[in-house]
Chain A
């Protein structure tokens, strides 16, 4: 992944968590970020808008989704897969 893309994702996560991008570490969980379910939905929306992708995520089954939200690092990797994957063209 290009570093500027990773930076963009981190800045989206930081903005939704009301933190400085420098405070966000890859190992942090949503709980540690203080993101509630609505904050998460807003973050996903911002990612979709920024990168022109569709994030497969259902709030009823947050852990069952193909989009791994267990940590900041996993979110970054999931976005990376979406951007390079075939469905990016469909979004």
Chain B
């Protein structure tokens, strides 16, 4: 059976850097940091008080009041990003058969803000009831369902929950479905919003968060910094994009997912390398073809060291010649949405010839001998990119994209 080619024809985002793709590109190109003091109820009771929070997001501008009571913040982000992606793809709704289009949206926390509000009401405020739509708001598939409803997508739609790799898994599955002929088009990506007291309190407990900044691969790194937002993309077959005369932003060439099967939080060099190798094989290319790697690069001691070692396994002697940046120092670690937001850095490298920098690179770490594109974006001709996501729970997902 011949496999179909799969392309991206639309992109949308809401994140701490900007409420759209254009603004995010601009911020990434100028190396702007979206991390700042967190602002929400009870933040003073947290040890970690920084994050990449989406500011000035007014839900009532995007949604009418009746519908809004069904939308957790992560769903709101997903819907706004999906609308942007569909608009860029030139689609009011799916072209062709709606039963062959769907939505796969990654998320780790689902309606975490709704959970936080409900717990606050019953535990802190002593109330005996919560909003009646608490369940439909908090469920992990809420974003996927509302995206399917908004655009009338009647094919396969579901949520993917693989922690920090959720978006890459969602995009990879959408890619495979279109490639194999199971679907003609997909809205895929991720959405997350855990920047609230309860959400952050849980993360604090793990002692993996930095109190002062995200410095991926740097000697002075001391943990991750959380972000929030969404990234949603329109994926469709190359033929349908061509037939519509749609602008093609990139072709998805390969995808692989692996499991470490070893530890619930510690990453594995072998599992990460196997995912990268698998994606290269799926794309039918060798590591020499990769012109940029968007790293997982969380800024934790363990991830960055392990990822650098895995990258060395793949690129060997050529390692120092491959630009590898982590954009998490700008938009924060957006957990279930992070891979989708980082895919924007890949599109920028392919289409604008600009590689987003790694901010916070105070000094090199001998354990991470990478060209991290420190501080300032770099102009480069990039034909093919790789983007990594390695989740808690040892679940790895790697995508490879090329210029069309």
Contacts and interface: CB of A to CB of B under 8 A. Distances in A.
Contacts of A49: 129
A19 interface: no
A45 B66 contact: no
Nearest to A48: B129
A42 B70 CA distance: 11
Nearest to A16: B66
Contacts of B131: 45
Contacts, number: 17
Contacts of A44: 132
Main secondary structure of the interface of A (DSSP, over half): helix
A49 B130 CA distance: 10
Contacts of B286: none
Interface residues of B, number: 7
B3 interface: no
Contacts of A54: 128-129
**Chain A interface: which size bin?**
10 to 19
B132 A41 contact: yes
A91 B128 contact: yes
A42 B129 contact: no
Contacts of A18: 66
B321 interface: no
Contacts of A38: 132-133
Interface string A34-57: 000010011011001100001000
A42 B130 CA distance: 11
B133 A42 contact: yes
A11 B309 CA distance: 65
B69 A42 contact: yes
Interface string B341-364: 000000000000000000000000
Nearest to B131: A45
A87 B278 CA distance: 64
Contacts of B132: 38, 41-42, 44-45
